[in-house]
Amino acid sequence: MPYAGGYQSQVFAAGGSPFPFTVQGLEDAAREKLPAPHFDYIAGGAGRERTVAANVDAFARWGLNYRILRDGKPGVPSYTVLDTPMAMPVLLAPAGVADLAHPEAERAAARAAADTGVVQVLSSATSTALEDVAEAAPEGRRWFQFAWPDDEKLARSLIDRAENAGYSAIVLQGDCHVAGWRTRELDSAFFPFQRAHGMGNYLSDRRFRELAVMGPRPARGAALDPAEVVAAAATWNRLYTRPALHPGDLALLRAWTDLPVIVKGVCRPDEATLLADAGADALIVSNHGGRQLDSGLAALDCLPGVVAAVGGRVPVLFDSGIRTGTDVLIALALGASAVMIGRPWLYGLAIGGQEGVTHVLRCLEAEFTGALALTGHRDPATLSPADLTPVTTPSNRRAR
Ligand code: FNR
């Protein structure tokens, strides 16, 4: 009986791992490691966090159909979405201010992603400039999540920089036209951007510095003086992001870049149709991990409708609530081409930097690969709703 992905064998051979394997263990370890406001910024969501909970709970309403007397040997070794090869259909979701979790932030995540063959989707609001992240793992594959700033020159500068630094797709953030009501942030009065966290791409941008009336970019790693923090935070608040975006704006983005354009944050079938008509190359069903709108639908419940509306015209990716390899399987069976994880990689980063992120990805890979074989598949592309049975009274509800 082989261990899928090989990670189990390695863990047993090494006599264990410094990192936890359960979902709850990972979150608890991150909570223990981080200052409370930092942990709360990462873990928290909008309002009462009902959407955050719904995202996770939605997976327990599906049971995977188990199949026996099958071939357990490794199947398809890699996967491709929009011409980007990936070792498994899991990407690192864009998450700003990763330096709240670990000083090596996105660079550590870039190395972990490159080591595991996973695509890193880099946020606009990173702690580190996008060029420096690319340089940290030149062999890695990466897409750039574009938060469209309310200044055209800055917008074009970010896109050009991403393209020049080797990012191979633009992921347009569609769901941040207004800030979510994030109660944990309010309780701790901690808003990272007010302290110039998450501005790596802006502080390194000539146009941003011009708008903030700041001097030329200082040497890498040089600290900002307090007046610069105030100027940068005020300018960032004013420009991040354009308050109004429409499907028609995709045409402008297309005129600026030849890279594929993916829209993130789609939850409604009618909007999915409009975006596919407007020329989006792919969509990401996501509710931002429940960080924007409370009392929202679970993202997973939005996935089948969007997949049906798009009708195979463009790939549909998914995030919000993925915690395990079997969650990946469920989302793929419901029609996702690939999924992204947000908080799990940040927790891994918090507890072990690059190694912690690698651990999270290897756990997902091993569990996903094993579950794929146990449901009778050798290739994720053959998963379908026939692999699922709706569970009306979930007995498997509480994730550990
Ligand atoms: C995010 N997310 C996010 N999304 C985005 O498009 N741009 C961003 O800058 C950020 N920043 C960010 C910070 C933090 C701390 C978190 C946790 C999340 C949302 C992210 O891309 C993704 O949609 C969710 O995290 C997915 O949900 P899970 O996996 O966290 O449940």
- Per-residue pLDDT tens for 85-121? 999 999 999 999 999 999 999 999 999 999 999 999 9
Any idea what the CATH number is for the domain that residue 91 is in?
Answer: 3.20.20.70
- Cα separation of 59 and 90, whole Å? 16
Is residue 393 included in any domain, yes or no? no
Q: What pLDDT sits at residue 225?
A: 86
- The position carrying tokens 């009501």 is 181
Mean pLDDT (the chain, rounded)? 95
Query: 287 CA to middle of ligand 1, Å?
Result: 9
Helix (H, G, I), strand (E, B) or coil at 188: helix
Q: How many domains does the chain have?
A: 1
22: preceding bond cis by omega (within 30 degrees): no
Q: What pLDDT sits at residue 80?
A: 96
Strand segments (E) across the chain: 62-64, 79-81, 84-86, 90-92, 119-122, 142-146, 170-173, 261-266, 282-285, 316-318, 338-341, 388-390
Local confidence band at 73 (pLDDT 50, 70, 90 cut-offs): confident
Local confidence band at 224 (pLDDT 50, 70, 90 cut-offs): confident
Is residue 138 included in any domain, yes or no? yes
Nearby residues of 215 by Cβ (< 8 Å), 6 or more positions away: 209
Is residue 228 included in any domain, yes or no? no
Question: Percent of the chain scored above 90 by pLDDT?
Answer: 88
- Cα separation of 357 and 108, whole Å? 8
Residues catalogued as catalytic: 288
Local confidence band at 51 (pLDDT 50, 70, 90 cut-offs): very high
Nearest residue (by CA) to ligand 1, atom 24, is: 289
Query: 44 CA to middle of ligand 1, Å?
Result: 11
Pairing between β-strand 84-86 and β-strand 79-81 as defined by DSSP bridges? antiparallel
Nearest residue (by CA) to ligand 1, atom 9, is: 96
Average pLDDT over residues 35-47: 98
Q: Give per-residue pLDDT as tens, 241-252.
A: 998 999 999 999
Does residue 95's CB lie within 6 angstroms of at least one atom of ligand 1?
A: yes
Q: What pLDDT sits at residue 75?
A: 81
Q: What pLDDT sits at residue 398?
A: 54
Average pLDDT over residues 307-329: 98
Q: What pLDDT sits at residue 396?
A: 55
Is residue 8 included in any domain, yes or no? no
Query: 43 CA to middle of ligand 1, Å?
Result: 10
Average pLDDT over residues 121-126: 98
Is residue 395 included in any domain, yes or no? no
Local confidence band at 399 (pLDDT 50, 70, 90 cut-offs): low
Tell which wins on pLDDT, 72 or 124: 124
Is residue 5 included in any domain, yes or no? no
Query: Mutate which of 127, 263, 291 to test ligand 1's pocket (most atoms within 8 Å of Cβ)?
Result: 291
Q: Which domain holds residue 59?
A: 17-187+247-382
Q: Give per-residue pLDDT as tens, 138-192.
A: 999 999 999 999 999 999 999 999 999 999 999 999 999 899 999 999 999 999 9
Nearest residue (by CA) to ligand 1, atom 5, is: 94
Atom of ligand 1 nearest to the CA of 286: 23
Query: Mutate which of 128, 288, 317 to test ligand 1's pocket (most atoms within 8 Å of Cβ)?
Result: 288
Pairing between β-strand 170-173 and β-strand 388-390 as defined by DSSP bridges? unpaired
Is residue 289 included in any domain, yes or no? yes
Q: What pLDDT sits at residue 196?
A: 86
C-beta separation of 364 from 324 below 8 A:
yes
Token duo for residue 78:
């890699």
Average pLDDT over residues 303-330: 98
Q: What pLDDT sits at residue 4?
A: 66
Average pLDDT over residues 24-41: 98
Query: 294 CA to middle of ligand 1, Å?
Result: 15
Local confidence band at 395 (pLDDT 50, 70, 90 cut-offs): low
Atom of ligand 1 nearest to the CA of 124: 9
Does residue 341's CB lie within 6 angstroms of at least one atom of ligand 1?
A: yes
Task: Report how far Cα 319 is from the mean position of its chain's Cα atoms.
Answer: 7
Does residue 126's CB lie within 6 angstroms of at least one atom of ligand 1?
A: no
Is residue 336 included in any domain, yes or no? yes
Average pLDDT over residues 37-65: 98
